[in-house]
Amino acid sequence: MIPFSVLDLSPINQGSDAAQAFRNSLDLAQHAERWNYKRFWLAEHHNMPGIASAATAVVIGYIAGGTRTIRVGSGGVMLPNHAPLVIAEQFGTLESLYRGRIDLGLGRAPGTDQRTARALRRDLATTAENFPHDVIELQALLGPLQPDQMVRAVPGAGLRVPIWLLGSSTFSAQLAAMLGLPFAFASHFAPSELMRALDVYRARFQPSEQLSEPYAMVGVNVFAADTDAEARRLVTSLQQQFVSLRRGTPGPLPPPLDNMDEHWSPPERIGVEEALAYSVVGAPDAVESGLEAFIAETGANELMLTAQIYDHTARLRSFEIAAEIRRHIDARQPTSLLRSDASIA
């Protein structure tokens, strides 16, 4: 059965703060666990007033400590911002505390603007270029100790935390295929190269100790509500956030609007709608049809659902509806067509 998972940015709402954002994230994770979502991932962003998950490993520990069975991980850690040894130690610590429940998704982008990236990295050129080497170094640090190995992650060595590569282009798709790693595509905000990246990943995949065959997870925005009108209203918070980001004025997640046309210009509308092309918005029947079409189009092994919804109760309801839809989809699939996730944690 195709798993559904959650990508959370710990959104900071207008009029609220990071502390409440973290409480909301934990509450969502606890509900997602009860609704049989497979993973709960958090994303690294910096200098973003509407996103609280900058210290991603710390928030993962908070979420994992408040749940029991759901896998918790990064979607992702932006590896060029960090030394591989630091990430190996952080995720080795998490895996030691929450054995068998931690995922390490890695991205190549800075997760911020260039000025902030320089404050994080100091050297923008070499860190981005070193991404493939850093991934291999991180794999080694989390793998078994080698004879005469002088630098080790303590904890971390030998724990084999599952590594994923994340991307919005074919670069990480090629690298994931070469290294035999699972691949997650950020189609929820960068849809244009999704199908090409999936084709590259599947065609070039080489089996590894971690993974015997390609495993692709794709991102999709899901705004589900009891009526189409309410769902369309909920999505306006995300649309406003994208407009603000493109205007160079990022801020907290705003409350929904009744009429977006009073807020954005026609070119802004086109740009935002292109970026959010893989969004499923509506009442349960419409969302079910949309998700089924998306699964058929992509052949995904797993869906990563995300929803920047201002009202926490409405956000919970959206993920609850999606969980109900997953059960409907699975019940209708012939046994021979159900995708197995037995080869991946």
pLDDT in tens, 186-236: 999 999 999 999 999 999 999 999 999 999 999 999 999 999 999 999 999
Q: What percent of the chain has pLDDT over 70?
A: 94
Distance CA 20, CA 317 (A): 18
Q: What does the pLDDT look like over 32-72, one tens digit per residue? A: 999 999 999 999 999 999 999 999 999 999 999 999 999 99
Q: What does the pLDDT look like over 94-150, one tens digit per residue? A: 999 999 999 999 999 876 677 777 777 656 666 667 899 999 999 999 999 999 889
* Residue 341: predicted pLDDT: 41
| Contact (Cβ atoms closer than 8 angstroms) between residue 149 and residue 120 | no
User: Mean per-residue pLDDT for 17-28?
Assistant: 98
DSSP helix/strand/coil, 177: helix
Rg (CA), the chain: 19
Sequence-ordered alpha helix ranges (H) in 205-311? 228-234, 236-246, 266-275, 284-298
* Residue 111: predicted pLDDT: 64
Residue pointed to by tokens 């749940």: 67
* Residue 335: predicted pLDDT: 44
Model-level pTM?
A: 0.93
* Residue 342: predicted pLDDT: 37
The yes-or-no verdict on residue 2 having pLDDT over 50 is: yes
Distance CA 343, CA 6 (A): 20
How many helices and strands, by DSSP H and E, does the chain display? 13, 9
Q: Which of 101, 100, 77 is nearest to 88 (CA)?
A: 77
Q: What percent of the chain has pLDDT over 90?
A: 87
Distance CA 48, CA 329 (A): 36
* Residue 1: predicted pLDDT: 81
Summary mean pLDDT of the chain: 93
* Residue 315: predicted pLDDT: 98
Domains in the chain: ranges and CATH: 4-337 (3.20.20.30)
Q: What does the pLDDT look like over 327-343, one tens digit per residue? A: 998 887 654 333 434 35
- State how beta strands 183-185 and 4-8 pair: unpaired
| Contact (Cβ atoms closer than 8 angstroms) between residue 326 and residue 305 | no
User: Mean per-residue pLDDT for 156-161?
Assistant: 96
Write the Ramachandran bin of 7: left for phi over 0, alpha for psi from -120 to 50, otherwise beta: beta
Within 13 Å, how many C-alpha atoms sit on residue 140's CB side? 14
* Residue 122: predicted pLDDT: 57
